[in-house]
Amino acid sequence: MQVCNKSEVENIKLSVYFEKNVLSPLRFVNKTLTSRLTLSVNLHLQPETMSIHTKNWGLSEADFNVLQAELVRGGESCFQKVFTQNYKRYANYIRSEMKLSYDDASDVTVEAFVKIHRFLKEGRVAYGNLDAYSMQVIRNEYLMLLRKRKQMPDADVEVNERELIDEAYDESTLQQFEQAFDRLGEDCRTLLQRHYYQKMSHRDIGVALNISEDASKTRTKVCRNKLRELFLQLLNAA
Amino acid sequence: MIDKYKKGILSEQEMDQTEEKLLKKMFDRKADEEVRQNLRFQLEVLNTSSETSEDTSTLTPDADAPGSALRVVHRNKWMTWAAAASVLLVLGAAWWFFGRSTVEDLAAEALAANYLKTEVAPSLSNVMDDSQVTATEQAARDAYLQGDFVKAARGFAGIPPATAAQFFYLGIAYLKQAKPNYSSAVNGLLQARKLGNGWQEDAINWHLALAYLGQKRNTEAQQELENIISVGRDNVAKAQLLLEKMK
C-alpha cells in the first residue's frame, strides 16, 4: 500500500535526511535510487514480506519511518491515509467481537487512533506488528468505555494495559489546571508550550523570541510561578 | 499527590514534577482534541464519499451472503415530504398570526441562523489555475455557484479536500444548507484556517462564529466574535450585535 504520494514521501525523506545531516547529497541520491529499486521489487512481494506488510497497516518499514517523521514534523496526511484505509476493519472487528453499537465502535476506534497518533509521535511505537498493537489499544479503549459507564470495576483492567490508560489525575484537577493555564498571558502560554511541550531548549526559545538564553530561563520561571499561584488559588477555592 | 500539592507539603522538586506532568497531560489533551476532530472529519468525508455514489436507489450487496445477487432499494419519500409540508404550513400560519420578529428581537443563536440564511455565500475565488481543477471539484464549484449547497458539500467532500480553498468552500457549503451541518462546517473551516495562512481570514472567522453559535458553543463563538472586532475589518457591527445578544 502506498501511504503517502510519491512527492510527499520524497519531500519528507529529503528534509529528514538533510536536517539530520546524516547523508551527503551524493549518498542521498544513491540511497533514493536504491529505495526506488526496492519499491519496484516490492511490486512482486514475497509471501513473508506480504505478511509483514499485512501486520503493519500495509506499510513497509520505510513507509512507517516516513509516517513517523511526518508526524513529528506536524504533518498529518500519511496518518490520515492509514486511518481511512484501516478504520473500517478495526471498527467492524470491535463491533462484532464486543457486540458494540455502530456509534460506540466508531468512538472506540477513533479514540484508539488518537492514542496511537500520540504514541507514534512520541516514538513509543515500533514497527513489527502494528496490527496487534492497534488491536491492543482498541481493546484498551473498549475497557475504558466500560469503566466510564461503570460496567466494569477498575480491578478488572489487566495490569499490562495500565500503562496505556495513563490517567494519573482526575478530570476536575486537569480542568482546574487548564483554567489556570488559560489565565496566563499569551507570552507565558507560548513560552511554556515551547519549552514543556515542543521540548525546545532555552537557547532555541531565545533565538525565536530574540532574547538571551538566560532571559528565557528567567521568564519561564516567572511563568511557572504565576501558573502555580493561579492553580493553587483554583484548587483552594474548590 | 494533588492533595499534598494543595497542602504545600511537597518538596520544591516534587511540586515542579507534578506541574510538569500536568503541563504535559494538558498539552497532550489539547493535541488529542485536534487529532480527534481531524479523524472525525475524515470519517465524515469517508461517509459522504460513499453516499455520493448513491442516488434515489442504492445497490447494496448482502454482506451475510457472499456471492448473492445485488438488491435494489427504492426510497419512497413522498409521505415524508407531505408530512414536512403540513408541518411547515402550520408553522407558517402560526408565525403569520403571532407576528414576525425583527432582527433586533432575535436571540444570538437565531440571529446567527438568520445571517446564515440571508447572507450571500462567499464568492468562489480562483485560487488555482483552472487546468488543475478536477472534474469532481468543478462539479462541486458549479453546484456551489448555483446555490445547491448539499450537492456542493458532497462534491467538495468527495475530492477529498486537501487545500485551504477546498476545505473553506466545503465548510461554507455545510453551513449554507437548509439544515446546516455545524460540526462538519467547523471542521472544514478550522482546516481551511490551518492551511490557509490568513487566506479568507475574515470570512473564516465570521462563519466559524456563526457555526459555533449554531452548536451553542458560546465560548468559542465569543472568541471568534471578539477576534473579528479586534481585527476590525469585515462584519464588525454584526459581531458586536451578536456579542451584545450573548450577554
For A30-83, the pLDDT digits (tens) are 444 334 333 333 434 445 555 788 889 989 889 999 999 888 888 888 898 899
**What is the reported pLDDT for A122?**
86
Most confident listed range (A57-61, B5-9, B47-51, B134-138):
A57-61
Question: Over 70: is that where the pLDDT of A162 sits?
Answer: no
Comparing A54-63, B59-68, B88-97, B121-130, the range with the smallest average pLDDT is: B59-68
Residue B77 located in a structural domain: no
**What is the reported pLDDT for B69?**
35
Cell numbers standing for residue B70: 445485488
The residue that leads in pLDDT, B69 or B145, is B145
- Regarding whether B110 and B175 lie in a shared domain, the answer is yes
B57 SS3 class: strand
B169 SS3 class: helix
Question: Considering its fold, how many domains does chain B have in total?
Answer: 2
| Minimal C-alpha gap between B98 and chain A (Å) | 41
CATH number at B145 reads 1.25.40.10
Residue B59 gets which letter from DSSP?
E
Report the 10 Å Cβ neighbour count for A122. Answer: 12
| Minimal C-alpha gap between B36 and chain A (Å) | 6
- Regarding whether B120 and B38 lie in a shared domain, the answer is no
Using CA atoms, how far apart are residues A154 and A146, in angstroms rounded to an integer? 10
**What is the reported pLDDT for A208?**
84
B181-190 tens-digit pLDDT = 998 999 999 9
B20-55 tens-digit pLDDT = 989 988 998 888 888 998 898 888 887 776 665 544
Does A89 contact chain B (CB < 8 Å)?
A: no
Put simply, the answer to whether A196 touches B22 (Cβ < 8 Å) is no
Total residue count of chain A as it appears in this document: 238
Chain A positions touching B28 (Cβ under 8 A) are 118
User: What domains sit in chain A, N to C, each tagged with a CATH number?
Assistant: 6-165 (no CATH), 171-237 (1.10.10.10)
Range of the domain at B133: 100-246
The residue type of B141 is R
Percent of residues, chain A, with pLDDT higher than 70? 71
**What is the reported pLDDT for A144?**
85
Residue B87 located in a structural domain: no
Question: Over 70: is that where the pLDDT of A13 sits?
Answer: no
pTM of the model: 0.52
- Regarding whether B225 and B104 lie in a shared domain, the answer is yes
Does B25 contact chain A (CB < 8 Å)?
A: yes
Determine the average pLDDT of the residues in A111-118: 94
Tell me which chain B residue has its CA closest to the CA of residue A226: B19
Question: Over 50: is that where the pLDDT of B61 sits?
Answer: no
The residue type of B68 is S
A197-213 tens-digit pLDDT = 888 899 998 888 888 99
**What is the reported pLDDT for A14?**
44
H-only helix segments in chain B: 2-7, 12-52, 78-98, 108-118, 135-145, 149-157, 164-176, 182-196, 201-214, 218-231, 236-246
- Regarding whether B219 and B114 lie in a shared domain, the answer is yes
**What is the reported pLDDT for A31?**
47
Comparing A45-54, A55-64, B4-13, B71-80, the range with the smallest average pLDDT is: B71-80
Question: Over 50: is that where the pLDDT of B11 sits?
Answer: yes
Matching residue, cell 472568541: B223
The residue that leads in pLDDT, A39 or A131, is A131
Determine the average pLDDT of the residues in B3-18: 86
Which residues, other chains included, contact A74 with Cβ-Cβ below 8 Å and sequence gap of 6+?
Answer: none
Q: Which residue among A84, A178, A193 places its CB closest to the CB of B42?
A: A84
Chain A positions touching B20 (Cβ under 8 A) are 196
Confidence class for position A137, pLDDT limits 50, 70, 90? very high
In the predicted model, what is the mean pLDDT of chain B? 80
**What is the reported pLDDT for B63?**
37
Using CA atoms, how far apart are residues A141 and A41, in angstroms rounded to an integer? 38
Tell me which chain B residue has its CA closest to the CA of residue A194: B27
Question: Over 80: is that where the pLDDT of B203 sits?
Answer: yes
Q: Which residue among B15, B29, B43 places its CB closest to the CB of A174?
A: B29
Confidence class for position B119, pLDDT limits 50, 70, 90? confident
**What is the reported pLDDT for A170?**
81
**What is the reported pLDDT for B53?**
53
Residue B78 located in a structural domain: no
Helix H or strand E encompassing B58: strand B57-60
**What is the reported pLDDT for B65?**
31
Comparing A17-26, A81-90, B150-159, the range with the smallest average pLDDT is: A17-26
Instruction: Report in angstroms the alpha-carbon separations of A85 from A70, A88, A94, B149.
Output: 18, 7, 16, 28
Residue B58 located in a structural domain: no
**What is the reported pLDDT for B74?**
43
Residue B57 located in a structural domain: no
- Regarding whether B224 and B130 lie in a shared domain, the answer is yes
Question: Over 70: is that where the pLDDT of B127 sits?
Answer: no
Which residues, other chains included, contact A192 with Cβ-Cβ below 8 Å and sequence gap of 6+?
Answer: A181, A184, A220, A223, A224, A227, B23
Does A118 contact chain B (CB < 8 Å)?
A: yes
- Paired strand residues for B71: B60
Residue B72 located in a structural domain: no
